[in-house]
Amino acid sequence: MSSTFTETEERQELRKQVAKLAGKYGREYFTAKARAGEKTTDLWLEIGKNGYLGINIPEQYGGGGGGIGDIAAVCEELAAQGCPLLLMVVSPAICGTVITKYGTEEQKQRWLPGLCDGTSTMAFAITEPDAGTNTHNITTTARKDGDGWVLNGRKIWISGIDEADNVLVVARTEDAKTGKVKPVLFVVPTDAEGFEANAIPMEIVSPENQFQVFMDDVRLPADALVGDENGGLVQLFAGLNPERIMAASFSLGLARFALEKATEYAKERVVFDVPIGAHQAIQHPLAQSHIEIEMARLMTQKAAALYDAGDEMAAGAAANMAKYAAAEAACDVVDRAVQTHGGNGASQEYGMAGLLVATRVGRIAPVSREMILNFVAMHSLGLPKSY
């Protein structure tokens, strides 16, 4: 019998199976692909073929009929094997959820099966150079043009454009002149005329790239619009709680990977006649990280359980806290893992330093730690809005 504080046997089995699959690939495969400028398409397709990629999507569209808790478990176990796939956050979790909730029957049938089996990937673009964290200030504008739309604007830091055939773009309608943005969502093909993307050189060791995107009179048919043009923020928010829960899981998988490597190393490396792990200066920081990771995992599971139970409000608070706690735990454990490895901590062979930026990004994206603290101060503590 499972208690409230453990995951179901089915979820635990899912974790085991995904870990086994990802373990066949492992960190060396992932970093070799990244350093060669190649993609991890074979891993992506294999998780798709096994039903893990679309596990949160309804069965009638090729998915597994599970919840965010399931896809988050998949994301975490992949990262825990050294294969963190950022596009899992974006394609099945954000785009898959928004289309499932707000797409028409025809749109669901057109896009979801490909997202599930991995043959089609969808990126997600909300961030803009001038708006930054303040997404209410986005200026990418959709103008009505006959039956269709014309899109103009710029986006930045958009992950995976080179692997995606479509992008779910957040824009505003042209007649939203009140200063209050009514966000509208469009599926934009990456090969559309007027759509251009340039890769941004990053210091992250990953096959997944980030892009600056330019949309210059991109013409879209009427059915590129997902949801109601007057639907407002609620349609966008449908993707944001899953995004935070997935980002937490991504960080936690990497945190577990670093902790496992550091612990193994601390048991084996002998100086001053005993393994370095016999010293409290080495073992206490690792024990502390184990506690921090477990606490953040619990919060992430709580957020996913609330979301899957349909309690969006409570899930929002929990997802923010989980994402914060997971990013902090991941940054701290990677720093400790580098220290535990001594000089090897900076080598490519041991791969710890390569995790520094990957985990550090967790404090910035998809929502920064400052914005989470702003949210918690205001919504959980009732303090004045500070931003």
Cis peptide leading into 366, omega within 30 of 0? yes
Binding of residue 361 to ligand FAD (CB under 6 A): yes
Number of residue whose CB is nearest ligand FAD: 132
**Judged by CB under 6 A, which of 97, 173, 210, 300 binds ligand FAD?**
210
Nearest alpha-carbon partner for 312 in 14, 320, 49, 42: 320
Q: Does 139 bind ligand FAD (CB under 6 A)?
A: no
Query: What distance in Å separates the CA atoms of residue 214 and residue 195, rounded to the nearest whole number?
Result: 6
Q: Give dist(CA 118, CA 179) in Å, integer.
A: 39
For ligand FAD, give the closer residue by CB, 314 or 353.
353
Q: Considering the rule CB under 6 A, would residue 250 count as an interface residue with ligand FAD?
A: no
Q: Is 371 in the site for ligand FAD (CB under 6 A)?
A: yes
Q: Which of 22, 71, 80, 90 binds ligand FAD (CB under 6 A)?
A: 90
d(CA 351, CA 53): 26
Q: Is 321 in the site for ligand FAD (CB under 6 A)?
A: no
Tell me how far apart the alpha carbons of residues 317 and 324 are, in angstroms, rounded to a whole number.
11
Shortest Å distance, C-beta 218 to ligand FAD: 17
Give the DSSP per-residue string, 235-273.
HHHHHHHHHHHHHHHHHHHHHHHHHHHHHHHHHH-EETT
Number of C-alpha atoms within 13 angstroms, CB side, residue 137? 7
The answer to whether 203 contacts ligand FAD (rule: CB under 6 A) is no
Residue among 64 and 96 whose Cβ is closer to ligand FAD: 96
DSSP class per residue in 148-194 = EEEEEEEEEEEETGGG-SEEEEEEEETT-TTS---EEEEEEETTSTT
The percent helix, strand, coil of the chain (3-state, each to 5) is 55, 15, 30
| Shortest CB 200 distance to ligand FAD, Å | 9
Residue 83 binds ligand FAD, judged by CB under 6 A: no
| 380 counts as binding ligand FAD under rule CB under 6 A | no
Which residues, other chains included, contact 59 with Cβ-Cβ below 8 Å and sequence gap of 6+?
Answer: 65
- Residue 79 makes CB contacts below 8 A (sequence gap 6+) with 85, 249, 250, 251, 252, 253, 254, 256, 257
Note the Cα 25 to chain centre separation in Å: 20
Cα dihedral 317/323/324/328 (nearest 10) = 160
Q: Taking the complex as a whole, how short is the minimal distance between the CB of residue 331 and ligand FAD, in angstroms? A: 14
Positions 102 through 121 that interact with ligand FAD (CB under 6 A):
none
**Is residue 378 a contact point for ligand FAD (CB under 6 A)?**
no
C-beta closer to ligand FAD: residue 177 or 385: 385
Q: Does 368 bind ligand FAD (CB under 6 A)?
A: yes
Q: Which is nearer to ligand FAD, 61 or 157 (CB)?
A: 157
Residue 314 near residue 306, CB atoms below 8 Å:
yes
Task: Give min distance, CB of 94 to ligand FAD, in A.
Answer: 9
81 counts as binding ligand FAD under rule CB under 6 A: no
| 387 is a contact residue toward ligand FAD (CB under 6 A) | yes
**Closest distance between ligand FAD and the C-beta of residue 1, in Å?**
40
Contact status: 311 vs ligand FAD (CB under 6 A): no
289 lies in the site for ligand FAD, by CB under 6 A: no
By CB under 6 A, name the binding residues for ligand FAD. 90, 124-127, 132-133, 157-159, 210, 361, 364-368, 370-371, 374, 387
